[in-house]
């Protein structure tokens, strides 16, 4: 089997990750549940990760993949803290609806 990089143009990865990023943006605007919004943010992070890995392996440079590794680290920490915040909010308000959590809006 021939190598993937020889036969798949990089534009396809560019299109795919752009589309995934836009699905994440749509999800953030579309839903009211804060957990789903956090998941859509993960989706956007993964679109960026995919694009970084594709650039890194098409250019033959390892730095992009190291960067993706650090993005994963930060995403894991972010999810842990965000979910802890959501649990403590749920304990006080008994909801994860972002339309109820508007006390800091104005």
Residues 3 to 32 in contact with another protein, rule: CB under 8 A: 3-9, 11-16, 18-27, 29-32
CB distance 38 to 79 below 8 Å: yes
Considering the rule CB under 8 A, would residue 101 count as an interface residue with another protein? Answer: no
Considering the rule CB under 8 A, would residue 48 count as an interface residue with another protein? Answer: no
Considering the rule CB under 8 A, would residue 93 count as an interface residue with another protein? Answer: no
Contacts of 93 (CB under 8 A, 6+ apart): 100, 101
Neighbours of 86 (CB within 10 A): 17
Helix, strand, coil fractions of the chain, as percent rounded to 5? 75, 0, 20
Choose which of 41, 48, 86, 103 interacts with another protein (CB under 8 A).
86
91/105 with CB nearer another protein:
91
Considering the rule CB under 8 A, would residue 62 count as an interface residue with another protein? Answer: yes
29/104 with CB nearer another protein:
29
């Amino acid at each position: 089997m021939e190598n993937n990089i020889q036969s798949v143009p990089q534009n396809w990865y560019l299109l795919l990750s752009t589309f995934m990023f836009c699905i994440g943006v749509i999800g953030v605007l579309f839903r009211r549940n804060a957990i789903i919004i956090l998941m859509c943010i993960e989706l956007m992070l993964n679109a960026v990760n995919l694009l970084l890995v594709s650039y890194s392996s098409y250019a033959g440079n390892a730095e992009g993949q190291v960067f993706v590794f650090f993005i994963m680290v930060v995403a894991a920490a972010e999810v842990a803290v965000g979910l802890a915040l959501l649990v403590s909010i749920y304990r006080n308000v008994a909801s994860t609806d972002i339309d109820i959590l508007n006390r800091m809006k104005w």
